[in-house]
Structure 1
Amino acid sequence: MDTIDSLARYVPINKWRTDDQPRQKLVIKGIETLSDAELLALLLNTGHKHKSALLLAQEILSKSSNNLQELGKVNVNQLRRLRGIGEAKAARIVAALELGRRRQAGNVLFKNTIHNGQDAALYFKPILGDCPNERVHVLFLNFAHKVIKDCCISQGGISSAFADVRIILREALELGATSIILCHNHPSGNLNPSQSDILFTKKVVQAASILDILVLDHIIVSQAGYYSMNEEGLMSEEKQQRSQIRENNSPFGFAAIRMVIA
């Protein structure tokens, strides 16, 4: 009996048994029964010459080590290098992955309030966790910690991104924000803040304090999790003698934050 893999290689999907075709399988058996490759094949819709959409999907996943997190890092040009992937197919894949990221981020913004560093990290991680280049984002909040706006204020290379403090504060004033949360990603996966990260935070805190704007936290994210400068004591009057990196399961409140960089 032919397996799905063998059918993928030698028989067009529309010639398969109806309940083996990804689209019909989804309708009849439920979306949870589809593999990652079958879901990706639905996005592709068609294959290439003697290559079915499912085989093409398997090749795409193979190029990403069969890891959806790695697939989330690819762009349109990278996908188009694979034979059988044109601009339209590549754009559909990238768009679907971006929708997934925005859905995750929307879980926090739907509540419209950031209560702690965990909330901020859960918002930023889907956006920045698998980004191949370093980016600096700022969450602008009102007095009740409700989100006014999320703004990317800088994009850089693999190891750094220059951010202008004046742009951050100008945006905060225009939006009427009373507090902000800084965030950037480390594409290397290392969550520990660099000395330049700490100095940048200190610079923002000092400038913002003149305008009575509070810097609640500076979050660093990667696929591994997040690092909170507030949680680790870098934004309190007395620097705590610890630098443990926490996963997304250790909430804390902003009420005790003091605007002094240790």
Structure 2
Amino acid sequence: MEVSDSKVPNIKHWSPQDRPREKLMLKGTTSLSDAELLAILLGSGNKTMSAVDLAKKILRSTGNNLHELARLSVNDLMKIKGIGEAKAIAVVAALELGRRRKDLEAEDKPRISGSKDAFELLRPHLQDIQHEEFWIILVNRANRVIRKQQISQGGVAGTVADPKIIFKAALETLASGVILAHNHPSGNLIASPADIQLTRKLKEAGKLLEIQVLDHLIVSGQNYFSFADDGML
């Protein structure tokens, strides 16, 4: 249901400590609400809504869920009344920077001790996209990450994982183990027959090369399914 846009005072008439930019300078970033931070990205409101009210409107459209906001494209944001291309691009760009920062935090060769570690490493790449992608994590004998790599990108219903490309990457880096992962945009975390067959095929191929397939994750949003945790490896 569309929320009506009521007339509001110009943000310039607010108390300095209530204006998002001034509040950030006075009290720091942690003092700002999600709406206020988003309002700074928007830069301005419109004739009937302040930047903060426009930010609140965007957040309401996603159930006040930042993860859902991160899934929106420029075109999705532009469907919200009051959001033009420039504002939409600014929001999408900022959220992408957040993803990349999280990605860099994991770049210090962490140790994979379980499925959750692997999920956290790949989540920035797989949680918000609307098509399927296949990724691998290559590890050494101590289960320290050597590299993570995208293997393929497909459509909404599937993607192709070529064993030759997977094991070529493993051999080039002298990896001792590989963790497989792909996403299901539909939200379904059940392994399909094709997923199970591919995992078995890669596991058997890995034995010949002495490269162990340690797990296969299916990611959907904030959740995942682990073949290893479910005893399917």
Give TM-score scaled by structure 1 length.
Answer: 0.77
1:140 to partner: Cα distance = 1.7
Asked if the contact 1:113/1:147 (under 8 Å) is kept, the reply is: yes
- Tell me: CA distance 1:69–1:213, structure 2 relative to 1, closer, same or farther (3 Å): same
Structure 1 Cα separation of the partners of residues 25 and 109 of structure 2: 32
Among residues 41, 44, 51, which one is paired with 1:43 in the alignment?
41
Secondary structure of the corresponding residue to residue 158 of structure 2 = coil
CA contact (8 A) 2:133 2:183 kept: yes
Runs of 4+ in structure 1 deviating by more than 4 angstroms, as ranges, are: none
Q: Does structure 1 residue 172 correspond to structure 2 residue 157?
A: no
Cα distance between partner residues in 2 of 1:175 and 1:85: 46
Separation of aligned partners in 2, 1:131 and 1:9: 37
* Cα displacement string for residues 127-179 of structure 1 (whole angstroms, at most 9, x for unaligned residues): 31232222211112223322222111122233322222222122222333222
Q: Quote the residue 2:100 is aligned against.
A: 102
Equivalent residue runs for 1:39-188 within 5 Å: 39-188=37-186
Number of corresponding residues: 228
Contact 2:109–2:146 under 8 Å retained in 1: no
User: 1:229 maps to what in 2?
Assistant: 227
Q: How many angstroms apart in 2 are the aligned matches of 1:111 and 1:119? A: 12
Structure 1's 196 and 180: CA in aligned 2 closer, same or farther, altered over 3 A? same
Calculate the aligned-residue CA RMSD, in Å.
Answer: 2.2
Q: Deviations over 1:179-221 (max 9, x none)?
A: 2111112223232211111111112222232222221111122
Deviations 1:14-49 (A, max 9, x none): 221101101122232343332221110011112234
Unaligned runs of 5+ residues in structure 1 are 1-7, 236-262
Offset of 1:123 from its aligned partner? 1.4
Separation (CA, whole Å) in 2 of partners of 1:139 and 1:98: 21
Which residue identity lines up with residue 203 of structure 2 in the other structure?
Answer: V
The C-alpha deviation readout for 1:77-112, integer Å capped at 9, x for no partner, is: 222333443333222211222233334444443353
- Measured in 2, the distance between the counterparts of 1:50 and 1:31 equals 27
Distance 2:148 2:82 in 1: 37
Aligned equivalents of 2:199, 2:169: Cα separation in 1: 17
Q: 2:192 aligned with 1:194, yes or no?
A: yes
SS of 1:150's equivalent in the other structure is strand
**Contact 2:42/2:51, CA 8 A, preserved across alignment:** yes
For 2:146 and 2:90, locate their aligned partners in 1 and report how far apart those are by CA, in whole Å.
Answer: 30
Structure 1 residues 196-205 or 138-147, which shifts more?
138-147
Q: Higher mean Cα deviation, 52-61 or 96-105?
A: 96-105
Contact in 2 for aligned 1:140/1:148 (Cα 8 Å): yes
Q: Cα distance 1:9–1:88, how it changes in 2: closer, same or farther (>3 A)?
A: same
Q: Which amino acid aligns with 1:228?
A: S
